[in-house]
Amino acid sequence: MNDLQTFARDIHKGLSAPLKHISSKYFYDDIGSGIFQDIMKMPEYYPTPCEFEILSLQGENIINQLHFSEPFQIVEFGAGDGIKTRQLLKKLVERRVDFTYVPIDISAKAIEELVTNMLTHLPSLQIKPMIGNYFSMMEELAETRIPSLLLFLGGNIGNYEPLEVNRLLAEFRKCMNPGDYLLTGFDLQKNPATIRCAYDDPRGITKAFNINLLHRINRELGGSFKTNQFDFYSHYNPINGEVRSYLVSLVPQKVHVQYTQNCYSFDRSEVIWTELSKKYTVREIEEVAAANGFRVMEHFMDCKAYFTDSLWAL
């Protein structure tokens, strides 16, 4: 099954469900990846500057926790523009450490831009990019025996339900060997107002990011979504730490998708669930690590304790 068939299958399944949903992994086509770059530049969107601070100011401390005795690879899942990661790689290059950077992203355009930017700033960097989704790339990585530091940054783990988190970490373990490491970004629980503003900005950039899902269905699957007939809504629950985002149908309507040869009906105010973004406590992070066979080495936090990059060992 190719990527387009998988996309069509998931869209049909999601839009046929009692609670309609579209997986957040489909945000990141070339256009969506570009909009997300704009989101990361928003003053309200704190995860990016917080993680940038961690990797810039604590990169040396992270490196000092790694104990590789031979050349290794740094594999980054969902690399995006790589600007934050570059802070860590720069320190390794300056130390003349023998490593290869393996960025993985589903967007070919994002990878092309990342490689250009990385080599502009770090011309001696050994880089081996991969284009595709995490899971298919993990199968390839599992066949190698190269010592690895895996990066899963940006708080992306918060997009997964608890059972999905366990499945994801099980997949990471499959492409890791004893002595390998996983550096994972977790958005921490904090003032609910701070979180609300980060996920529903006044300029509507986050709304455009979500609406692009409908544009993508129109472009790639022959959908007939009228995007001006949908709005965006985001809600944060400070009790369980979950942000949930939705597209809202403003009118009763029917949408046809040529590729699936199906028509999908929407009631007025019916929602399509598009994203979960879970905010963790430190205790929850340590429980997730232990439950999945990892040992927490250290939590590297920003100065406000809004975010942590947590280093785990296998």
Residues in CB range of 6: below 8 A, 6 or more apart = none
Total-model pTM: 0.90
Among all chains, which residue has been given the structure tokens 């940006």?
154
Q: 309 with 153: CB under 8 angstroms?
A: yes
- What amino acid occupies position 5? Q
Burial class of 22 by CB neighbour count within 10 A (0 to 12, 13 to 18, 19+): buried
- What amino acid occupies position 197? C
Q: What are the domain boundaries of the chain?
A: 3-43+193-278, 48-190+282-313
The fraction of the chain above a pLDDT of 70, given in percent, is 100
Residues in CB range of 148: below 8 A, 6 or more apart = 72, 73, 74, 75, 141, 175, 176, 177, 180, 181
Instruction: Return the pLDDT at 19.
Output: 97
Give the domain 48-190+282-313 fold: Rossmann fold (3.40.50)
Inter-axis angle of helices 47-57 and 83-94, to 10 degrees? 0
User: Does pLDDT of 179 surpass 80?
Assistant: yes
Residues in CB range of 40: below 8 A, 6 or more apart = 47, 48, 80, 81
What's the pLDDT tens digit per position in 96-118?
999 999 999 888 888 999 999 99
Give the mean model confidence (pLDDT) for residues 154-169.
94
- Kindly state the tokens that stand for 220: 């790639």
Instruction: Return the pLDDT at 309.
Output: 98
What's the pLDDT tens digit per position in 233-274?
999 999 999 999 999 999 999 999 999 999 999 999 999 999
Among all chains, which residue has been given the structure tokens 């959908």?
223
